[in-house]
Amino acid sequence: MGEEIKTDLVLAENQWIETERLILRPVTLADTEDVYEYASDEVTTRFLFPANQSLAETRANIATSFIKDPLGKYGIELKKSGKLIGTTDIRVNDHNGTAEIGYALNSAYWGNGYMPEATAALLKLGFEQLDLVRIFATHDVRNSNSGRVMEKLHMKKEGLISDAERRNGEVVSLVIRGITRSEWLALQQTENS
């Protein structure tokens, strides 16, 4: 079985992931209002993408970004209330055994540890089931909150990409952070002993 097929199969078998307080699951059109709540919020979207201007725009974005190609993309749902509070994804490169994770979280839920909890589940999926050698993420140099999420996951700063891309009409620099399989496994042994 080719690596790409194996990756697709693992991701298809793991479209629903449960953590202590969260359910990571496919995003559907029924989530439009919850997604719009944060996708239209300029505090939440400042470092990510232009804020959505309407429910119709959010609905279209869900269709093209989540429903059309759902594998590795998750809505973050609170178990307690069933509310979708954000999204996270893992984008696997089968050719070199690496993946990039990304995320967005409704600013009303910042500071509760939800994003480290959600993305830790993706690290576990990546290293235990996808047999990845490295997982990385980038964040706008000005977005210290995102950097703290990565630090909580023990992702080390690997560098700075100056003038990396244009976001929301601005040229931005990105910090890149990563963790290797061996580093993650060592952390698991330490936490379990």
Write the pLDDT tens digit of every residue in 66-99: 989 899 999 999 999 999 999 999 999 999 999 9
pLDDT at 3: 73
d(CA 9, CA 60): 27
Which of the two residues, 116 and 3, has the higher pLDDT score?
116
Both tokens of 111, joined, read 């500071």
Both tokens of 43, joined, read 């505090």
110-138 mean pLDDT:
97
pLDDT at 18: 98
Residue 20 lies in a domain: yes
CATH code, domain carrying 91: 3.40.630.30
pTM, whole model, 2 decimals? 0.92
Number of domains in the chain: 1
Residue 163 lies in a domain: no
pLDDT in tens, 128-145: 999 999 999 999 999 899
| pLDDT score of 4 more than 80 | no
pLDDT at 169: 82
Confidence of residue 50 (pLDDT cuts 50, 70, 90): confident
Q: How many residues does the chain have?
A: 193
| pLDDT score of 102 more than 90 | yes
Burial of 169 (0-12, 13-18, 19+ CB in 10 A): exposed
Residue 40 lies in a domain: yes
* Nearest Cα to Cα of residue 26 among 61, 76, 60: 76
Side-chain-side CA neighbours of 57 within 13 Å: the count stands at: 11
Look over the chain and give the mean of its residue pLDDT values, rounded to a whole number.
92
pLDDT at 46: 78
Question: What percentage of the chain has pLDDT greater than the value 90?
Answer: 76
Residue 178 lies in a domain: no
3-state secondary structure of 130: coil
- Domain span at residue 46 reads 1-135
* Nearest Cα to Cα of residue 92 among 72, 116, 112, 106: 72
d(CA 114, CA 50): 23
Q: What are the C-alpha distances in Å from 3 to residues 121, 126, 127, 183?
A: 21, 13, 15, 23
pLDDT in tens, 161-193: 999 888 878 898 999 999 999 999 999 988 877
* Nearest Cα to Cα of residue 86 among 69, 97, 101, 68: 101
pLDDT at 190: 85
Contact 191, 123 (CB under 8 A): no
Residue 65 lies in a domain: yes
Residue 46 lies in a domain: yes
Residue 170 lies in a domain: no
d(CA 156, CA 135): 11
Rg (CA), the chain: 16
Residue 185 lies in a domain: no
Q: Which residues does residue 178 pair with via DSSP β-bridges, in sequence order? A: 136, 156
| pLDDT score of 1 more than 90 | no
